[in-house]
Amino acid sequence: MSDKFVIMFVCTGNTCRSPMAEAALRMLLEKERPGITEVISSGIAGAIGFPATKFAAEAARIWDCDLSDHESQPLTEELIDQSDLILALAPTHHVATVQMKPEATPRTFLFKNFPDARPDGEAVEDPIGQPLDMYNRTFLEIGEYLGKFLPEIVKRIDEKTNAG
C-alpha cells in the first residue's frame, strides 16, 4: 500500500457517480488533510480511458470540482490492494469488489452505509442518460453523505498516518 491514505470509489462505468464522488472528496480532503491522501475511482464494468460524462463534469464544476482530466478505469485487484478504504456506490459494486478480492472485505463499504459494514442497502442512483438536473441531484446527494462521513474518514486517515 501507498504511504498516502488511498480512498477508492467504485461504480459501474466510472464515468458518472464515482468520478463525481472522487472529485468532491478530493476537494474536501485538500482542505482537511492536504498531501497525505489519494482519491481514486473505478468501475466494475469500466473501460479504460473514457472521460467523465458531460453532465457529470458540469454538475461537479458547479461546486468547483474539475473532472476534465478524468479517465475511466476498470476495477482491478491492484486498485483494491492499494486502497485503504473502498466505498461502493451500490450493493452490486460492493459484491463485485469483495468477490474479486475477499480480503478487502473489512475495508469495503456500501457508500450510504459507511462506517457501518452492512453490504446491503440503498445505492446512489445512477444518473447515466438522465438530464443535467439528475446529475446535480446525484452530486448533491454524494456531497451530503461525504459531509456526514468526513469526520470518520479523517479519523481513519489520521490513524494510518500517525501509526506509520
- The answer to whether residue 65 is catalytic is no
- The answer to whether residue 16 is catalytic is no
Q: How far apart are CA 143 and CA 147, in angstroms?
A: 6
User: Hey, what's the cell of 32?
Assistant: 482537511
Which among 33, 61, 126, 137 is annotated as catalytic?
A: 126
DSSP symbols for the chain: --SSEEEEEEESSSSSHHHHHHHHHHHHHHHHSTTSEEEEEEETTPPSSPPPPHHHHHHHHHTT---TT----B--HHHHHH-SEEEESSHHHHHHHHHH-GGGGGGEEEGGGTTS----SPPPPP-TTS-HHHHHHHHHHHHHHHHHHHHHHHHHHHHHHHH-
Which among 11, 65, 84, 107 is annotated as catalytic?
A: 11
Which among 16, 17, 84, 107 is annotated as catalytic?
A: 17
- The answer to whether residue 17 is catalytic is yes
What is the set of active-site residues? 11, 17, 126
